[in-house]
């Protein structure tokens, strides 16, 4: 009758095998409830198979109003506020042993073994010279939190103190099976306090009850939406998923407390079972609609539809409701997708989309509803029209309503930039965690009944649209000036104008690589180039012996979140055709924690040693087609007084999901008669780069072009210039190509 699946993989794909299986189960009459994932707030992270259209994807919220408090009476300075995470008896005292990592051991990113600061394995205690009766001070990361308490108990610790990875107290664990010692959690900002008092004796005392600051909020780990590819509302609903105490199936009398969306989905599976008990003839679509339509937004605070879905599930109302709303195909929300907002000929509206929803009345009396829209957050100028705005649904019948969203052209300029100033596009949540944002306008269509009675409730239909305010920065025809020469330098200018409504940036790169369409989806490479800039652009400080290199990679088709893919720039410094370094754009969490978090890093690896030698945040936008990967020239072994140039090419891979697609881009992929790689000199470039100018509507940039004719090598991919504008429409428009042409 009901399947619960507490599993999944990040960046969910509605077309993946497990998502299709979930939809088929629902079509066969089984309600399917699935955890949304534990990868955090970045856009498009909610997982497969929960993203299946007919499945119910469940986010986790914190329903723990308070927890046992503790205070650590430090040897020096004030007490440290803490959580008694397993409710153990206090006080205890002992000598602090602050754990450190052994830099000589490599770390297993899936288990944490090799990072001796975590305190999860016996060797962590051995390396840190731990003695029985001491208090182990460890850090949070990779391995399960409770593994630290379990290992500490085995090592006869007086207590284990875990320093959180955010400036908040870590979750309450409740009873930890097999652990009799206190497991104490402190905020990350206190780490230095323990380092100062390392080796000194402290006392951990009871501090009564601490109010949980995260009470009613979505858990910081709960995977956010919307759904990858079409920006549908996912997750669908929220349920308690933090410090949930339940049966331990490995025993007959023990319980355990766990956190995760895997704790939230069983709760909603139980609600689905209750609905079927009350309404045995309802199909999975009816059950889903009843759950989503009766959810409470006010019981999730702060409420964000992108993370919480329709709100907190309400079992009593979901069981009792006599009416519900569904949408096609097999959903209970409205999807308006990604909309590129620009000027449309003959119209003052940048985009308009209409969707339909149906109210079904299962009772024996008619119900009249008044319909209205309720925004969740800023409208950003979006207009919502509901037709009809009032409707009577006869007994045992249904009625259809149209919902139209539109954005006036006058509102386009006010939409957020795809990547402001072409800088890394990052946001910070309430507990200090970084995530990749996406601009959404969201809300709910509310059907409010005029009458009352058993099972007659207001019904909510969540909706979401992703507007992209687009510029249109492109070359003004026939505006390149004639080449003039000064020694070995040939110079010219070219005019670019913003023909769009939104601000765009003319950001100039030396163009080196081009590739035709290969029909490999969002990793289908189109063009790439590089800039050589002052080191202050990368590091914030000047270094005349080094350069900041920024590589621009442009694709034919948009991604939802580029962290689902990997983009590699292969660097060949000795020009023997074999790469010496790898600059790659990759998910930060996948590299450093073994699981996706939706953030894209630009990392440099020495392929000779396998060592990570450099890294910065990449610049990338949700629903974009261009990413910017910065690195220092010195990361590649280059210097002003030594080797200055290198060859490069680009490869791309899908790393999330089931696809095995790859793409590769060299200089000769457009029939130029060569398969050579592009060449670039970081300190003496043949082609100018680095011109950067924001352009409002109708503004013009006079872009200077310079070619060093003595070092210019057209056979080595020195094609001309890419004018990159991340706010332009996706695809080719984001990287306009300017060929060098015939030189004097």
Whole-angstrom distance, CA of residue 405 vs CA of residue 352 = 6
Measure the CA–CA gap between 174 and 243, rounded to whole angstroms.
Answer: 7
Crossing angle, helix 284-293 and helix 261-278, to 10 degrees? 110
Question: What does residue 290 show for φ and ψ, rounded to 5 degrees?
Answer: -65, -40
Position 19 scores a pLDDT of 97
Question: What is the predicted pLDDT for the residue at 102?
Answer: 93
Q: CA of 514: how far to CAs of 511, 524, 652, 660, 717, in Å?
A: 8, 11, 14, 22, 9
Which pair of tokens denotes residue 708?
């060093």
* Burial tier of 544 (Cβ tally within 10 Å: 0-12, 13-18, 19+): exposed
**Residues in a beta bridge with 359:** 325, 399
Strand runs (DSSP E) across 556-691, as ranges?
Answer: 565-572, 581-587, 600-606, 612-617, 619-620, 626-632, 645-654, 662-665, 678-681
- Mean pLDDT, the chain cut into blocks of 10 residues (744 residues total): 95 96 98 97 97 98 94 95 94 97 88 94 97 96 92 97 90 87 96 95 95 91 97 98 85 82 97 98 98 98 97 98 94 97 87 97 97 98 98 98 97 97 92 91 98 96 98 95 96 97 98 95 97 97 97 98 98 96 96 92 97 97 98 98 96 88 78 70 98 98 97 93 98 97 92
For residues 319 and 362, what is the distance between their CA atoms, to the nearest angstrom?
Answer: 13
Per-residue pLDDT, 675: 58
Q: Is 140 exposed, middle or buried (0-12, 13-18, 19+ CB in 10 A)?
A: middle
- Whole-structure pTM value: 0.91
Closest by alpha carbon to 200, among 73, 105, 323, 301? Answer: 73
DSSP structure string for 508-574: EEEEEEE------GGG-EEEEEEEEE-THHHHSS--TT--EEEEEEEESS--S-GGGEEEEEEEESS
How many C-beta atoms surround the C-beta of residue 292 within 10 A?
Answer: 28
pLDDT of res. 469: 96
For residue 593, what pLDDT is reported? Answer: 82
Q: Coil, helix or strand for 616? A: strand
Q: In 3-state terms, what secondary structure has residue 288?
A: helix
Which pLDDT does position 178 carry in this prediction?
A: 85
| Secondary structure letter of residue 165 according to DSSP | S
- Three-state secondary structure string covering 334-356: EEEEEEEECCCCCCCEEEEEEEE
The token pair at 703 is: 């872009």
| Pair of tokens at residue 612 | 């990570």
Distance CA 240, CA 262 (A): 10
């Amino acid at each position: 009758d009901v399947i619960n699946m507490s599993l999944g993989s990040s960046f969910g794909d509605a077309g993946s095998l497990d998502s299709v299986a979930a939809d088929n189960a629902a079509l066969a009459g089984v309600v399917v409830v699935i955890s949304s994932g534990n990868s955090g707030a970045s856009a498009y992270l909610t997982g497969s198979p929960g993203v299946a259209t007919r499945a119910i994807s469940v986010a986790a919220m914190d329903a723990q109003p308070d927890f046992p408090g503790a205070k650590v009476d430090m040897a020096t300075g004030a007490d440290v506020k803490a959580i008694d995470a397993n409710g153990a008896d206090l006080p205890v005292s002992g000598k602090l042993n602050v754990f450190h990592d052994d830099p000589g051991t490599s770390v297993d990113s899936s288990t944490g073994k090799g990072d001796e600061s975590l305190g999860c394995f016996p060797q962590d205690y051995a390396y840190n010279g731990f003695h029985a009766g001491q208090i182990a001070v460890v850090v949070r990361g990779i391995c399960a939190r409770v593994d630290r308490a379990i290992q500490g108990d085995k090592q006869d610790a007086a207590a284990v103190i875990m320093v959180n990875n955010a400036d908040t107290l870590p979750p309450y664990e409740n009873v930890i099976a097999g652990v009799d010692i206190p497991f104490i959690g402190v905020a990350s900002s206190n780490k230095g306090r323990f380092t100062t008092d390392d080796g000194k004796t402290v006392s951990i005392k009871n501090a009564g009850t601490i109010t949980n600051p995260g009470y009613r909020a979505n858990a910081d780990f709960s995977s956010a939406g919307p759904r990858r590819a079409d920006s549908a509302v996912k997750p669908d609903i929220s349920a308690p998923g933090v410090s949930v105490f339940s049966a331990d199936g490995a025993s007959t009398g023990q319980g355990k407390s766990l956190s995760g969306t895997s704790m939230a989905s069983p709760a909603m599976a139980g609600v689905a079972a209750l609905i079927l008990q009350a309404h045995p003839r309802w199909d999975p679509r009816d059950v889903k609609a009843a759950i989503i339509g009766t959810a409470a937004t006010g019981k999730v605070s702060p409420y964000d539809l992108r993370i919480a879905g329709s709100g907190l599930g309400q079992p009593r109302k979901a069981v009792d409701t006599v009416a519900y709303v569904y949408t096609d195909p097999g959903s209970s929300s409205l999807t308006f997708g990604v909309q590129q907002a620009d000027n449309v000929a003959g119209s003052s509206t940048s985009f308009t989309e209409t969707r339909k929803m149906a109210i079904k009345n299962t009772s024996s009396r008619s119900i009249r509803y008044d319909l209205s829209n309720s925004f969740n957050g800023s409208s950003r100028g979006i207009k919502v029209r509901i037709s009809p705005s009032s409707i009577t649904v006869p007994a045992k019948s249904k009625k259809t309503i149209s919902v139209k969203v539109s954005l006036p052209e006058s509102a386009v300029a006010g939409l957020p930039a795809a990547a402001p100033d072409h800088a890394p596009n990052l946001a910070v949540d309430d507990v200090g965690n970084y995530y990749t944002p996406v601009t959404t306008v969201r809300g709910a269509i509310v059907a409010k009944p005029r009458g009352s009675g058993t099972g007659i409730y207001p019904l909510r239909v969540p909706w979401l649209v992703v507007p992209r305010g687009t510029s249109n920065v492109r070359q003004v025809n026939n505006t390149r000036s004639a080449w003039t020469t000064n020694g070995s330098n040939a110079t010219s200018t070219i005019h670019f104008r913003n023909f769009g409504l939104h601000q765009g940036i003319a950001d100039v790169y030396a163009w080196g690589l081009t590739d035709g369409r290969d029909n490999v989806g969002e990793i289908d490479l189109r063009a790439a180039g590089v800039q050589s800039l002052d080191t202050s652009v990368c590091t914030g400080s000047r270094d005349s012996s080094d350069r900041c290199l920024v590589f621009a990679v442009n694709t034919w088709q948009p991604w939802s979140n580029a962290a689902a893919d990997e983009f590699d720039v292969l660097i060949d410094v000795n020009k023997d055709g074999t790469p010496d370094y790898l600059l790659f754009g990759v998910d930060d969490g996948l590299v450093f924690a073994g699981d996706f978090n939706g953030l894209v890093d630009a990392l440099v690896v020495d392929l000779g040693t396998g060592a990570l030698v450099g890294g910065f945040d990449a610049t990338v936008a949700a629903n974009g087609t261009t990413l910017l990967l910065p690195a220092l020239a010195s990361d590649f072994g280059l210097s002003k007084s030594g080797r200055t140039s290198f060859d490069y090419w680009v490869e791309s891979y899908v790393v999330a999901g089931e696809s095995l697609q790859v793409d590769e881009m060299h200089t000769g992929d457009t029939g130029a008669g060569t398969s050579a790689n592009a060449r670039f000199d970081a300190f003496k470039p043949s082609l100018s780069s680095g011109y950067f100018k924001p352009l409002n509507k109708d503004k013009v940039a006079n872009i200077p072009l310079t070619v060093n004719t003595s070092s210019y090598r057209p056979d080595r991919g020195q094609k001309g210039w890419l004018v990159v504008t991340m706010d332009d429409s996706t695809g080719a428009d984001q990287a306009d190509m300017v060929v060098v042409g015939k030189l004097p």
